[in-house]
């Protein structure tokens, strides 16, 4: 089957899903534009700001569409073939991922823009809230570990992967240099905005081209940043530490703005490559039900490997953390929450296309970020010419790293917030200590792991991320049930994701236990993964028990959104 035809089938499918199924789900929530949303009722011009859906969807999409829907499909396609991946991306996005995001956003809007954890506290009590906070923290830790390791592998860039080609620069060094300059440009943009407050259009026409220029300049200084994987891992974690503590206006906001342009440009390039590149599918549609290794079974590991391409618990944190505070009308939750997740499903398909069009022997030893960068480079070369292929590949790999940094600094900041809230630490000192605690475990794992260990980290990251989505849907199911509303459209996705993730955690615990029996109690990556798996299972069990207790209570009205006077 041709690549353009597969893309058309997916686009038609998600279009129908948005047209019909999202309308049905919206009807179950009784969205009412006569009700004041928290953004309107508590409009403070800072956190609570009513925003038009077109602009809010762009901001929300750039926040959720990071590296998750890219690396997962690439790894899964090499293990199981592209057809299972495509089915899970299409069906999972429509019936599970988009429902999760939409429901998280609606629930937050109808509860005064409270976070997922706070909604859990309302319906499952203090014990459920504490379990959810710890679960989110552990899940975010593995987001940091997985993305740090996979990015460090991309920055190394082995030239033997381009056997037969002559490079005028070091591929990994060029990507690393371009990514570093991208972050410096973001800081410069934030400083200029703070110091001089120029019009946004002027900033845009200066810094967006400068970001693309950083890619070109990176190829000219590609030997300046030649480091090994572990050193890069430590430096990326140092970036996470600093980014978590810097003012949002200095790095996070301008970095997100510039990264959004890279994201949309990459989407455009992907569409060009798929429909006009003439690339043929060279990967097998289906390879096996099981490959070698602990995580080799299609069930359940396909569904946790493609973590964010079909469903993501991280999205619920974004929906209830920032996006819900900007919803102008309740009906806007549908295009923003449901629609953005469908668009992310197509991002996952573009990533899948970059691996589908390359024969498997050519991919041996290559990290997902490298595979994606090369694929986007081949697509971009259609527009700028094959003579610029090496530059185009550098752009593709740099684009991947920008998506990673988008996730890394947000995940680190959220982790720091959780530690500060749990221990009631305030001020700069509390922020520094909380960030240091957050970074310690990723630092240990990066230093102790071998090359390519991102696969071990990625499996547990995907499992924790998906289980977080299941627990969020569990809380939403309890809310719907206590509000005397239909629950099946949230309950069924929750049961499926819950079963796949718990199955995955049990296998990972069993493997860690086998290693301990064979090699003794050695504090290594495998043992730590087993301990974290057991912790996630325990926390999930607490939440399930608290949910069952809550379901025995009588129905109640949805919690009224607090007013400005309620908040003091």
Q: What is the pLDDT of residue 62?
A: 81
State the Cα–Cα distance between residues 345 and 355, nearest whole angstrom: 16
Q: What is the pLDDT of residue 522?
A: 61
Supply φ then ψ for residue 482, to 5 degrees: -70, -20
State the Cα–Cα distance between residues 294 and 456, nearest whole angstrom: 10
Q: What is the pLDDT of residue 202?
A: 94
Q: How far out from the chain centre does Cα 44 lie? A: 29
State the Cα–Cα distance between residues 67 and 263, nearest whole angstrom: 11
Q: How far out from the chain centre does Cα 94 lie? A: 17
State which fold the 3-551 domain adopts. Amino acid/polyamine transporter I (1.20.1740)
Q: What is the pLDDT of residue 266?
A: 93
Are the C-beta atoms of residues 505 and 529 closer than 8 Å to each other? no
Are the C-beta atoms of residues 377 and 394 closer than 8 Å to each other? yes
State the Cα–Cα distance between residues 200 and 260, nearest whole angstrom: 14
Q: How far out from the chain centre does Cα 156 lie? A: 23
Are the C-beta atoms of residues 400 and 369 closer than 8 Å to each other? yes
Q: What is the pLDDT of residue 523?
A: 60
Helix (H, G, I), strand (E, B) or coil at 306: coil
| 215-to-212, 405, 431, 564 alpha-carbon distances in Å | 5, 16, 34, 47
Residues of the chain falling short of pLDDT 50: 159-165, 558-568
Q: What is the pLDDT of residue 503?
A: 96
State the Cα–Cα distance between residues 122 and 517, nearest whole angstrom: 43
Q: What is the pLDDT of residue 520?
A: 67
**Average predicted confidence (pLDDT) for the chain:** 89
Domain regions of the chain by residue span: 3-551
Q: What is the pLDDT of residue 99?
A: 98
Q: What is the pLDDT of residue 97?
A: 97
Q: What is the pLDDT of residue 163?
A: 40
- As given in the structure block, the two tokens for residue 191 are 């400083």
State the Cα–Cα distance between residues 338 and 23, nearest whole angstrom: 10
């Amino acid at each position: 089957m041709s690549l353009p035809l597969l893309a058309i089938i997916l686009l038609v499918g998600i279009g129908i899903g948005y047209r019909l199924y999202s309308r049905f789900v919206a009807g179950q929530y009784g969205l009412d534009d006569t009700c004041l949303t928290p953004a309107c009722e508590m409009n403070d011009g800072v956190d609570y700001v009513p925003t038009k859906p077109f602009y809010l969807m762009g901001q929300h999409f750039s926040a959720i569409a990071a590296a998750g829907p890219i690396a997962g499909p690439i790894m899964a396609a090499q293990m199981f073939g592209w057809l299972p991946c495509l089915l899970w991306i299409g069906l999972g996005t429509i019936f599970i991922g988009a429902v999760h995001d939409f429901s998280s956003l609606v629930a937050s809007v109808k509860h005064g823009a409270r976070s997922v954890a706070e909604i859990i506290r309302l319906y499952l009590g203090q014990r459920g809230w504490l379990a959810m906070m710890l679960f989110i923290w552990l899940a975010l830790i593995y987001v940091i570990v997985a993305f740090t390791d996979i990015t460090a592998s991309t920055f190394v860039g082995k030239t033997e992967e381009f056997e037969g080609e002559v490079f005028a620069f070091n591929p990994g060094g060029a990507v690393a240099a371009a990514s570093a300059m991208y972050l410096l440009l973001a800081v410069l943009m934030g400083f200029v905005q703070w110091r001089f407050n120029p019009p946004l259009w002027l900033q845009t026409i200066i810094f967006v081209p400068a970001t693309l220029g950083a890619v070109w300049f990176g190829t000219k200084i590609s030997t300046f940043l030649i480091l090994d994987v572990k050193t890069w891992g430590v430096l990326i974690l140092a970036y996470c530490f600093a980014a978590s503590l810097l003012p949002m206006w200095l790095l996070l906001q301008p970095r997100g703005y510039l990264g959004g342009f890279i994201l949309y440009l990459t989407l455009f390039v992907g569409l060009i490559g798929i429909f006009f590149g003439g690339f043929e599918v060279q990967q097998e549609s289906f390879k096996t039900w099981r490959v070698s290794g602990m995580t080799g079974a299609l069930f359940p590991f396909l569904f946790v490997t493609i973590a964010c391409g079909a469903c993501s618990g991280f999205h619920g944190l974004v929906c209830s953390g920032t996006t819900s505070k900007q919803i102008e009308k309740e009906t806007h939750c549908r295009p923003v929450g449901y629609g953005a997740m469908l668009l992310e499903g197509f991002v996952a398909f573009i990533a899948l296309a970059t691996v589908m069009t390359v024969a498997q022997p050519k991919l041996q030893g290559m990290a997902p970020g490298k595979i994606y960068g090369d694929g986007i480079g081949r697509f971009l070369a259609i527009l700028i010419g094959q003579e610029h292929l090496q530059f185009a590949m550098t752009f593709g790999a740099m684009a991947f790293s920008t998506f990673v940094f988008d996730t890394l600094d947000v995940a680190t900041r959220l982790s720091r917030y959780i530690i500060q809230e749990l221990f009631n630490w305030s001020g700069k000192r509390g922020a520094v200590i909380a960030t240091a605690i957050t970074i310690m475990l990723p630092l240990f794992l990066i230093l102790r792991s071998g090359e390519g260990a991102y696969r071990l980290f990625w499996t547990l990251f995907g499992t924790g991320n998906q289980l977080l989505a299941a627990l969020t849907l569990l809380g939403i199911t309890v809310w719907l049930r206590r509000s005397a509303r239909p629950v099946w459209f949230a309950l069924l996705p929750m049961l499926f994701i819950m079963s796949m993730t718990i199955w995955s955690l049990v296998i990972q615990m069993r493997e860690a236990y086998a290693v301990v029996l064979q090699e003794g109690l050695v504090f290594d990556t495998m043992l730590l993964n087993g301990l974290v798996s057991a912790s996630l299972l325990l926390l999930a069990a607490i939440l399930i028990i608290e949910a069952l207790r809550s379901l025995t209570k009588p129905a109640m009205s949805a919690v009224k959104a607090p007013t400005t006077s309620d908040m003091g």
